[in-house]
Structure 1
Amino acid sequence: MTDLRDDTEITESLIRSLLRDQHPDLAELPLREVEGGWGNQMWRLGDELAVRIQRMDTDFDHQLKERQWLPLLAPRLPLPIPVPMRSGAPSERFPKMWTVMTWVPGLPLDQASITRSEHAADTLAAFLRALHVAAPADAPADTLRGGHPSDLTNGFDDFLGSVDVDVIGSDVAAVRAVWEDAVAAPAWTGPPVWVHGDLHPANVVVEDGTLAGVVDFGDLFAGDPAVDLAAAWLLLPMGAAARFFTVYANADDAAIRRARGLAVLKCLFLMLMGQNGDRGLPGGKQAWGPAGRTALDRVLADVGHESASTPDA
């Protein structure tokens, strides 16, 4: 196989050549690049399809998981998700994985906003209730993302120490307190449930001011639902987390504490993705930094509200 570098430029010409080689009946459909994407790049293919092609991601398992499990999950989820339709194999022309999937209409939340807060909270809660069911024994596991926050403390310390001081400001102590509370929370003791694993503003789409679809299931696994419950702060506007948890109804205090800590961890990741220079992350996305900072404000505001509402002992 030709040795192509990981940063091989992905162009319209390359996509068309791959389609002509492996799916010639699709090769002449209109094709345009979709803004966004980090691990994978998306290209709109005709009106109803998209090509999902590896960019920073070099792990074939991510797209293989989507091919295996998304056709089974999609029919019972109340929001559209991408469904794999054709498989693209690595080749001499391009040594990575690519898949033709159904197109999920809408704008990514990092390029749009939610204006119908209550509707979005209800929609997210309904989606996660439908997703968070016991997974089969052969479902993929993820010992990193799926672990208790106490297993992720080194990553938290690295992220917190790498975020620019002028971005994190005076909130370091408050952020650490949220994390330490999550580390101290009891672990998930239920059966492993299906978890999206990477819900953040670039992985959901918005139409008419509310959530309209969920994309990028490359981190799909069976584990602790608190990983996804962090989306209450990562995705929803200020103050909407309380309604989300009321409608979701299945999260106890320990799950909310773990979710809050995992939300802080994801906020730091997003802030690093938007950071310039050596202290940022490779392939970074500048829009993700402000999204992470705004979500962090929501977490800390909720913690502050709870503290103010709790009477002194």
Structure 2
Amino acid sequence: MSMHADEATITADLVRGLLAEQFPEWADLPIEPVRSSAGTVNAIFRLGGTRSVRLPRRPSGAKGLLREQEWLPRLAPCLPVPVPDLLGRGVPGSAFPRPWSVHRWLDGAHPAPDADLGRDLAELVLGFRRVPFREGPASYRGGSLREMDAAVRTAIADLEADLDTSLATALWDESVHAPAWDGPPTWTHSDLLPANLLVAGGRLSGVLDFGTVGVGDPACDLMPAWTVLSAPARRDFREALEPDEPTWLRGRGWAFSMALLGLPYYRETNPPFAAMCRRTIDAVLAAASPDVRGCRG
């Protein structure tokens, strides 16, 4: 089932044809679609045992894929876990009018709900912050959370049957009105969701999808506190990163906004992703302070 109204039809036969034209040395390898909650922006195919192919599902996805092609090779040496090395840059053609990529395949599984990865994820976030160069594009979620205000309030109203809208509004108010970031912009991944992380042996073993990377407010990389981690691991994550209270609240706001908008959008077309959004909403609501619970309404 397509997830987007403007989504292209992307098949293994299409991928094989593109490979035959641009990378004939790989065209005879087995091709299998990767069917998981990953790939809401890109269609992903496993190519043989050691490679993957990524193709933007929508016209708007081309910009992120080109960003990944440009910045992934530069960021990879700065990070504490493996990334899917870029092996080939596919160009638009008559059969597929957008750029596409071939990457090295990374083994691993996406983290289970309520993962115990607080310290590992903190070290990943710190890896992005330690990138020694500062020039770069604006990160996908590195701007003002207030740009999401109208859409989030509409989403809360539309989800009245699914959540405590009074508490949700109070939590959103707390995040969206938190003081803005006034420090230097830092590198962020900007989309640290379970589908973009890999684990092996109980440890973080890889990070995927660099189409959202850039410089901006570091709060957006606090999202996994609610999208990935258990409550105890969330405390470990916060302790390791030591964000100030406004940054923590903005990070929570980014996680909350993603989930509130994603739940209805993917409810029918990508149930695993919608379930992740539901868990994120529940984690944010469950962590509400007594002060917020007492003054809502």
TM-score (norm 1): 0.84
Q: CA RMSD in A?
A: 2.3
The worse-fitting range, judged by mean Cα deviation, of 18-27 and 45-54 is 45-54
Distance 1:262 1:113, change over 3 A: closer
The within-5 A match list for 1:262-281 is 262-276=254-268
What percent identity do the matched residue pairs reach?
34
**Offset of residue 113 of structure 1:** 4.1
- Mapped contact 1:270–1:291 kept (Cα < 8 A): no
SS in 2 for 1:50: strand
SS in 2 for 1:123: helix
The within-5 A match list for 1:1-313 is 6-36=6-36, 37-109=39-111, 112-113=112-113, 117=116, 120-133=117-130, 136=133, 138-142=135-139, 145-163=141-159, 165-168=160-163, 171-249=164-242, 251-276=243-268, 284-304=269-289
Structure-1 separation of matches of 2:162 and 2:202: 28
**Offset of residue 162 of structure 1:** 3.2
Structure-2 separation of matches of 1:48 and 1:106: 13
Structure-2 separation of matches of 1:58 and 1:307: 38
| 1:205-243 alpha-carbon deviations (Å, 9 max, x no partner) | 233344322111111121011011121111112332111
SS in 1 for 2:289: helix
The worse-fitting range, judged by mean Cα deviation, of 14-23 and 266-275 is 266-275
Structure-2 separation of matches of 1:210 and 1:304: 30
**Offset of residue 288 of structure 1:** 1.6
- Mapped contact 1:239–1:302 kept (Cα < 8 A): no
Structure-2 separation of matches of 1:179 and 1:211: 30
Structure-1 separation of matches of 2:61 and 2:53: 17
TM-score (norm 2): 0.89
SS in 2 for 1:42: strand
Counterpart of 1:281? none
- Mapped contact 1:273–1:288 kept (Cα < 8 A): no
**Offset of residue 156 of structure 1:** 1.2
**Offset of residue 153 of structure 1:** 0.6
- Mapped contact 2:41–2:61 kept (Cα < 8 A): no
**Offset of residue 107 of structure 1:** 2.3
Structure-2 separation of matches of 1:210 and 1:219: 23
Structure-1 separation of matches of 2:174 and 2:132: 28
SS in 2 for 1:85: strand
| 1:160-219 alpha-carbon deviations (Å, 9 max, x no partner) | 2333x3322xx2111111111112211111111111112222222233344322111111
SS in 2 for 1:107: coil
Structure-2 separation of matches of 1:295 and 1:154: 20
Equivalent AA in structure 2 for residue 149 of structure 1: L
Structure-2 separation of matches of 1:229 and 1:198: 10
- Mapped contact 2:152–2:257 kept (Cα < 8 A): yes
The worse-fitting range, judged by mean Cα deviation, of 92-101 and 59-68 is 59-68
- Mapped contact 1:159–1:269 kept (Cα < 8 A): yes
Equivalent AA in structure 2 for residue 124 of structure 1: L
**Offset of residue 78 of structure 1:** 1.1
Distance 1:167 1:57, change over 3 A: farther
Structure-2 separation of matches of 1:297 and 1:266: 13
**Offset of residue 138 of structure 1:** 3.7
Structure-1 separation of matches of 2:63 and 2:132: 18
Equivalent AA in structure 2 for residue 234 of structure 1: T
